[in-house]
Amino acid sequence: AGATMLGEVNNFGYVACEAAYRHGEPWRRALVARLQANRDLLADALARGDLPGVSGTPIEATYLAWLNVDSLRLADPIAFFEEAGVGLSAGGPFGDARYLRLNFGCPEATLREGLARMSRALKGR
């Protein structure tokens, strides 16, 4: 039954996989470095208090940060941050409605802008 759900891998898939294994290491290293730098940028912003009332959890093996916004007592945290121009994911469907998920798998400039928007919104409440 599983084979019918997944289908067959075509020749392009095999070629792409081989190319990734043979030539993808520099790209992979650059990606991991960017993710680590973005993770640290977010952790520094939280530690400095740039996002008042927001705390984070240790990030392990992902590019999705869990931000605890419970102390903000917002009626609709998603709408609050969307109004500020930042799209986050609600934590409820992922197990805990007190949290929002922030995807930091993006260019540094995009993350900096998103954090700045969040900071302005929180400080302007």
Mind listing the pLDDT tens digit for each residue in 72-85?
Answer: 999 999 999 999 99
Is the confidence at residue 6, as pLDDT, over 80?
no
Beta strand 64-68 with 89-90 is: unpaired
The answer to whether 63 touches 101, Cβ cutoff 8 Å, is: no
Is the confidence at residue 62, as pLDDT, over 80?
yes
The answer to whether 42 touches 102, Cβ cutoff 8 Å, is: yes
**Residue 2 confidence (pLDDT):** 53
- Diameter over CA atoms, the chain: 55
